[in-house]
């Protein structure tokens, strides 16, 4: 079958977007791996599927698959691209779009100068809900990784994140520590691994070794999780510029009981068709 797709990215975190409303097709893991393959397929970090909702109070269903083929709960950069896609394809005339994900409902809004604002919902800090094995909720958790002791943050944005403090992201041991932390036994669903450098109370630098992908140029949920961890730890104000290798996101969180608001760009690169 010929499958139409759109190649998009959010700060270099790149996606193959497929409209499964006008194309009736069931994506299986081997299809995801082919679409994501940068030599034998199109190439991307995640595949995003636009689907008919399963509930009356939302506009679309938004499904996310990591390059390795696994379906995941949430993708922040992908959410901004999802909004850009459904508006540009005239699949909706709304300015505020409600979409259902495995992690629940999020709201997407086209903002000024082609930015997209996403209500990512409330962060989850209770270890059992992340999921993360820990005695009790804390600002910092001791975590042994490859024989080295770290004091980390742990946050879920629907998907699990561990946040490691570093003095300089440029010299952070992302390639060495990322894969080991990703599969740490205390994270039963594995985990996205963020390396956070605090610049000041309004700005951090961040690199993310993503679960199921490896290091990406940007990670939206990772930016949210790092900002939340830094705010909980008392290092950051409630609005944070997160500088990632692919560019910057603005993250706002007013604290427990409030949602995380992420604002950033979404870019369409090209359209295509692929034999699957």
DSSP summary character for residue 127 = G
The token duo for 110 is 């086209």
Interface residue with ligand API among 6, 101, 156, 192 (CB under 6 A) is 192
CB of 200 within 8 A of CB of 241? Answer: no
Are residues 48 and 6 in contact, defined by beta-carbon separation less than 8 angstroms? no
Binders of ligand API among residues 36 to 55 (CB under 6 A) are 45-46
Integer-rounded Cα Rg, in Å, for the chain is 18
- Residue 264 CB, nearest distance to ligand API (Å)? 10
Which residues are identified as catalytic? 75, 219
- 169 SS3 class: helix
User: Cα–Cα distance between 4 and 266 in angstroms, integer?
Assistant: 19
Task: For the CB of residue 2, give the shortest distance to ligand API in the complex, in Å.
Answer: 27
> Nearest 5 degrees, angle CA 85-CA 116-CA 130?
95
User: Can residue 6 be called a binding residue for ligand API (CB under 6 A)?
Assistant: no
Confirm if 41 and 22 have CB atoms less than 8 A apart. Answer: no
27, 48, 72, 174: which one contacts ligand API (CB under 6 A)?
A: 72
Question: Distance between CA 146 and CA 177 in Å, rounded?
Answer: 7
By CB under 6 A, tell whether 86 contacts ligand API.
Answer: no
Least distance (Å) between residue 242 CB and ligand API: 11
Is residue 217 a contact partner of residue 226, using CB atoms and an 8 Å limit?
no
The residue from 76, 127, 230, 246 that contacts ligand API (CB under 6 A) is 76
**Token pair listed for 25:** 């097709």
- Alpha carbon 43 to chain centroid, angstroms: 18
Whichever of 100 and 210 has its CB closer to ligand API, that residue is 210
Nearest residue to 60 (alpha-carbon basis) of 116, 16, 18: 18
Nearer to ligand API, 158 or 165 (CB): 158
Q: Is 36 or 231 the residue whose CB approaches ligand API more closely?
A: 36
Give yes or no for residue 159 binding ligand API (CB under 6 A). Answer: yes
Q: Which of 213, 232, 236, 244 binds ligand API (CB under 6 A)?
A: 213
CB 225 → ligand API: shortest distance, Å? 9
Say if CB 191 and CB 180 are below 8 A apart: no
Q: Which is nearer to ligand API, 231 or 262 (CB)?
A: 262
Name the residue nearer to ligand API (CB basis): 6 or 192.
192
Binding status of residue 69 toward ligand API by CB under 6 A: no
Footprint of ligand API (CB under 6 A): 13, 45-46, 66, 72, 75-78, 159, 192, 210-213, 216, 219-221
Question: Which residue ranges are tagged as binding site for substrate?
Answer: 13, 46, 66, 76-77, 159, 192, 210-211, 220-221
């Amino acid at each position: 079958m010929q499958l139409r797709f759109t190649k998009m990215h959010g700060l270099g975190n790149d996606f193959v977007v497929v409209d499964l409303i006008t194309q009736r097709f069931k994506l299986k893991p081997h299809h995801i791996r082919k679409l994501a393959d940068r030599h034998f397929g199109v190439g991307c970090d995640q595949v995003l599927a636009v689907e008919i909702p399963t509930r009356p109070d939302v506009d679309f269903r938004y499904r996310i698959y990591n390059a390795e083929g696994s379906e995941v709960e949430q993708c922040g950069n992908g959410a901004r691209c999802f909004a850009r896609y459904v508006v540009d394809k005239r699949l909706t005339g709304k300015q505020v779009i409600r979409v259902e994900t495995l992690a629940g409902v999020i709201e997407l809004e086209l903002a000024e100068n082609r930015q997209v604002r996403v209500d990512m919902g409330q962060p989850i800090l209770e270890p059992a809900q992340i999921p993360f094995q820990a005695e009790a909720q804390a600002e910092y958790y001791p975590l042994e990784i490859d024989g080295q002791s770290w004091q980390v943050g742990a946050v879920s944005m629907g998907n699990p994140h561990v946040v490691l403090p570093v003095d300089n992201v440029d010299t952070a041991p992302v390639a060495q520590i990322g894969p080991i932390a990703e599969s740490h036994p205390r994270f039963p669903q594995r985990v996205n691994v963020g390396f956070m450098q605090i610049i000041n109370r309004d700005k951090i630098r961040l690199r993310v070794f993503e679960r199921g992908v490896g290091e990406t140029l940007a990670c939206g949920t990772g930016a949210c999780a790092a900002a939340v961890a830094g705010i909980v730890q008392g290092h950051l104000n409630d609005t944070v510029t997160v500088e990632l290798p692919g560019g910057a996101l603005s993250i706002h969180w007013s604290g427990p009981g409030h949602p995380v608001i992420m604002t950033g760009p979404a870019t369409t690169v090209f359209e295509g068709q692929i034999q699957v």
